[in-house]
Amino acid sequence: MLDSIINAFLEFKWFMLLNVGLTIAAGVILWFATEQFGYQRKNRYLFAFFMGMKNREILWTGFAWTQMVFVLSCVILGGEMNLVYLVFLLLLVPARFLLYQDIRRLPVDLVNAVLLYLALLVGSVMRDYLKTIRFDSLILLVLILLTLSVLHYTIYNFVKDMLFVTEERSRIHEKRVEE
C-alpha cells in the first residue's frame, strides 16, 4: 500500500520540478513587470489583478496554474498515462467546486478533466506507436496537431479561470459601491 502511494508520487516528480521552476520564473517575470508601478504604464493592470486578492481567489488561481502546468508537463515531457493522472485531474474538480460552490461549473469541470485526460492518453499512445511500432509522418503530424490543440485548450482554460476571478472581484466591488 505504502509502495503504491510512493510510486504514485514518484510519477509526478517531473511535474513537481516543472511546477516549481515555472512558478519561480513567473514570479520573477511578474516582479520585474510590476517593479516600477505607474498609473500611466500598462503594468497597472497586472499589478491590479494581484492586489487585494482574497484567499479563495489565490487558491483558485493556484489550482488553475497547477492544472495548466500539469497538462504542459504531460504534453512536453511525455510519459506513460495511467489512472493516477486521471485521478489527479479529477481531484482538482471538487477542490475548485468547494472554493466557489457554483453547481453549474461542476459538470463543465468534470468534462474538461476527462477530455484533457483522454487527449493526453491518445497523445501517449501515438508517441508509443511512433517509437515502438512504426514511424509514420502522418501520425506525427496528427500528434503535433493534437499537442497544439491540447496546449491551446489548456491555456484557454487558464485565461478563462483568470477572467472568472476578475469577474467575481468586480461583481463584489459593484455590490460595495451600490451599498
pLDDT bin (cut points 50, 70, 90) of residue 39 is low
Q: Mean pLDDT check: name the lowest of 147-151, 157-161, 168-172.
A: 168-172
Owning domain of residue 97: 53-178
Asked if residue 112 is part of any domain, the answer here is yes
| Angle between helix 55-77 and 83-100 (nearest 10) | 160
Asked if residue 42 is part of any domain, the answer here is no
Rounded to two decimals, the pTM is 0.78
Query: What's the pLDDT score for residue 23?
Result: 83
Asked if residue 46 is part of any domain, the answer here is no
| Structural domain count of the chain | 1
CA distances from 59 to 67, 79, 97, 112, 162 (A): 12, 28, 12, 19, 12
Q: 101 pLDDT exceeds 70?
A: yes
Nearest 5°: phi and psi at 62? -65, -40
Asked if residue 134 is part of any domain, the answer here is yes
Query: What's the pLDDT score for residue 106?
Result: 84
Q: Give the pLDDT confidence of 119-146 residue by residue, as tens digits.
A: 999 999 999 899 898 888 999 999 999 9
Asked if residue 160 is part of any domain, the answer here is yes
Asked if residue 37 is part of any domain, the answer here is no
| Cell numbers representing residue 113 in the block | 478533466
Asked if residue 172 is part of any domain, the answer here is yes
Asked if residue 43 is part of any domain, the answer here is no
